[in-house]
Structure 1
Amino acid sequence: MKSILISLKLLVRKDRKFYCLIKKITGITPVNAHYYHLAFLHKSLMRKDEQGAPLNNERLEYLGDAVLSAVVAHELFLRFPEKDEGALTKMRSRIVNRHNMNQLALKMGLNQLIRTQPLADMAQTHIPGDALEALIGAIYLDRGYKQTYRFILKKIINKQPNLISFVENDTNFKSLLIEWGQKNKCNIHFVTEEYPSQLANEMIFVAQAFINNKMLGEGEGSSKKEAQQNAACKALSNVSEIRELSLN
């Protein structure tokens, strides 16, 4: 009954479209709208509150990251009693890594709600994943731990069709490329440069992966590590060129 009354009140509000999107995406009826609006406010807008403090989603992201980590750790602990702490840690990191969180955020449609400076392609940034973590923080503050647990279970953990296969799939593309180079006696090296991004006070990294001094992969990222991983991934995908090099 309480939930119905809340829903009725939300329908008469000016931002009912926002509420409807939140409910559609999360399955949760917001009570305190402030948390959810804040969850999608990126720091690039340079907003401040009445006291002059920064008004963005970074604090909620910090909270959501901690709650997400705790929930995933708990669920993996229950599901895999035979795994030791090292394996569980690796499994958790695979689920909550930035690439996976970005992909999940985009599939949820969070890009419809994020407020930031205009971008050519939000999918090429870490903003969607950050917003998803901030949303988790908002749900936690608004509806409590149980509701947040259900959301993470349904929208993140259970979205992996085969959890074992997902967490054990090695996606450290840079390591894979270096191992391939050692096996095939090829020289592997990376060149990474830093450029100003479209967002205020942020930088973007562009990396190139070279095999035997031939550039076979280029990638971008919000960090040097992410850019090199993306470059290595593209280099590994050029199988025919790599094979030709290994024969020379």
Structure 2
Amino acid sequence: MIRNIAQKIKLFSSPRKEFYLFLRALFNSTPNNLKLYETALTHRSASKTDSQGNWVNNERLEYLGDAILGAVIAEFLYNRFPNMDEGFLTQMRSKLVNRSFLTELTFQIGLNYYIQSNTNNTKENSHIYGDALEAIIGALYLDKGYQVTRQFIIRKLLLQQVNLDEIQHTNTNYKSQLIEWSQKNKNDVDFETVEKTTSDSRQPLFQSTITVNSQLVGKGQGASKKEAQQNASKEALAKLDQLDV
């Protein structure tokens, strides 16, 4: 007990106090392992080394959080829409775990302020923020267990931050929209996606360009070919005044 009191005194006399209080308010639960959450918000471009010389960043926690988030959202949608088929549920889940959507959530809850990164990526073209949200979910799961994590995702994110009716009627598959538009209007659409070299060699970056009838209409970047093509398609649709939002 004396040791716990000493740890709390040390915590509240350190610069980590603000971060601790932020997490407590965010989760509606007292965090136990603050270092775990700090790791969750450390992008690989800002990786640190532990006492054994191993690189420490949020990639493993992101992997874990992605699985937890997907499971909770799947259960939530299953219960929320009891009369809808598998196709609808899959599409809704895809919209809710979309990187752009997770990035918006990250900013809405203020988590972006605490992310450690040495990249120059912006909110519009970066996956860092969405990855950090998944990583913090992974950290919460390890620190507090499944039920606390489930409550956070449902109560704090899905019920407070998400308009399900709006999401339901929004088509975020921009590439699909663009292809449908091209077929309807008999236009030739070509995608060219290449991997770019970055200052952080461990971080892949893809760049996609789209031409319609040999004219450039969209560019986009992403951590995967799919993400880059989606971002390029969104820009193309906006230029063609066909963005379905």
2:18 corresponds to: 17
CA distance in 2 between counterparts of 1:79 and 1:103 reads 22
1:71 corresponds to: 72
Shift of 1:46: 3.7
CA distance in 1 between counterparts of 2:96 and 2:7 reads 33
Q: Could you report, residue by residue, the CA deviation over 1:119-160 in whole angstroms, capped at 9, with x for unpaired residues? A: 252552111111101101111122222221121013321222
| Partner secondary structure for residue 237 of structure 2 | helix
| Partner secondary structure for residue 231 of structure 2 | helix
2:100 corresponds to: 99
Shift of 1:105: 1.0
Normalised to the residue count of structure 1, the TM-score between the two structures is 0.85
Q: Which moved more, 1:25-34 or 1:144-153?
A: 25-34
2:162 to 160, 163, 167: 160
Change in Cα spacing, 1:81 to 1:6, as seen in structure 2 (3 Å) is farther
Q: Could you report, residue by residue, the CA deviation over 1:62-93 in whole angstroms, capped at 9, with x for unpaired residues? A: 21111111111111111111122332222212
1:81 corresponds to: 82
Aligned length: 236
Change in Cα spacing, 1:27 to 1:35, as seen in structure 2 (3 Å) is same
Normalised to the residue count of structure 2, the TM-score between the two structures is 0.86
1:201 corresponds to: 202
Select the structure that is richer in helix. Answer: 1
Q: Percent identity?
A: 42
Shift of 1:13: 4.0
Q: Which moved more, 1:34-43 or 1:6-15?
A: 6-15
Return the letter of the residue paired with 2:99: R
| Partner secondary structure for residue 53 of structure 2 | coil
**Where do 5+ consecutive residues of structure 2 fail to align?**
none
| Partner secondary structure for residue 156 of structure 1 | helix
Runs (4+) off by over 3 Å? 5-10, 24-28
Shift of 1:22: 2.2
**Where do 5+ consecutive residues of structure 1 fail to align?**
243-248
Return the letter of the residue paired with 2:217: L
Q: CA RMSD in A?
A: 2.4
Change in Cα spacing, 1:7 to 1:102, as seen in structure 2 (3 Å) is farther
Change in Cα spacing, 1:100 to 1:122, as seen in structure 2 (3 Å) is closer
